[in-house]
Amino acid sequence: MTATVPIRCTVNGRPRELVVVAHHTLLDALRDDLGLTGTKECCLVGECGACTVILNGRSVDSCLVLAAEADGGTILTVEGLAVDGRLSALQQAFLDTGAAQCGFCIPGQLLAAHALLALTPHPDRAEVEEGLAGNLCRCAGYEQIIEAVLRAADEPAGGARAVEQPMVRQTTSDPAATPDASVAPQ
C-alpha cells in the first residue's frame, strides 16, 4: 500500500488540507492534487528552475521538496502573483519587455525574481543574473528577462512594490521553515 501523509499548508493565501503520497514532491502535489499547473515540471534535478515556488519566504525547486515537507508551510506559486485580476508589477514588466517567448520557464523565472526583489529591492544587473542563475530559458530570452526584473525594480517605490502583493508570511509551526523575517516585504 502506498504510504500517505496528511499535511496542512497555505497556498496562495488559501489554507489547504491534503493527504499527499509520501514519495510525491511538492511539485506533484501542486500540479496533480491542487491543479496548479502554472508550476512547470522539467529537469527534475534542480538545474532548470521551471518548478520554482516560494516556500516560507524562500525560493525553492519544488521538484526537490517532498510534499510532506511542506506541512505547515506557506507557498506562493505563479497563480498567486496577480491580485484581483491585476498583474503584479513584475509580471507586467515581463509582459512589457517581451520576456516571455515560449513561456515555459516564465513561472519559475517570475518566482525566482519575486524572491530576489523581496530580499534585494534594487538589484544591479549582476545580482539579477546571480538571482536567476538557477532558471534556464531554452528560448534564450535572458536579456529581456533581466531587463524586466531591472525595470520592475526601478519603479518609484522599487522592487519592494513590485512584490508587495501578496505578502509572503512566515509560520512558526512549520518544521521545514527557514525563518528569515527580512524576506517579508515591508
Partner 1 sequence: MRPFTYERPTSLAEAFRILEAHGAAASILAGGTDLIIRLRDGTVRPEVVVDLKAIKERDDGLHERDGRLVIGGWAVMTDIAADARVRRDFTALAEAAQVVGSAQIRNRATLAGNICNASPAADTAPALLVYGAEVVATGSGGTRRVPIDDFFVGPGRTALGAGEIVTSIELPLPPGRRGGVHLRRTRRRGHDLASVTLACAVMDDGRARLAYGSVGPRPLLVTDESGVLADSTAPAEARDRLLDRLLGAASPSPKSMRASPAYRLAMLRVLALRAADIAARRVAGGAAA
**Residue 85 contacts partner 1 per CB under 8 A:** no
Helix, strand, coil in percent for the chain, rounding step 5: 35, 15, 45
The contact pattern for partner 1, residues 93-122, with x = CB under 8 A and - = no contact, is -------------------x--xx------
- What's the CA dihedral at 66, 71, 73, 78 to 10 degrees? 50
**Residue 2 contacts partner 1 per CB under 8 A:** yes
Sheet holding 52-55, edge to edge: 14-21, 4-11, 74-76, 52-55, 58-61
**Residue 68 contacts partner 1 per CB under 8 A:** yes
- The SS3 of residue 96 is helix
**Residue 59 contacts partner 1 per CB under 8 A:** yes
Stretch of residues binding partner 1 (CB under 8 A), selected from 39-47, 84-92, 147-155, 161-169: 39-47
47: CB partners within 8 A, 6+ apart: 134, 136
Q: Where do contacts with partner 1 occur on this chain (CB under 8 A)?
A: 2-3, 5, 21-25, 44-47, 49, 52, 58-61, 63-66, 68-69, 71, 112, 115-116, 129-131, 133-135, 175-176, 178, 180
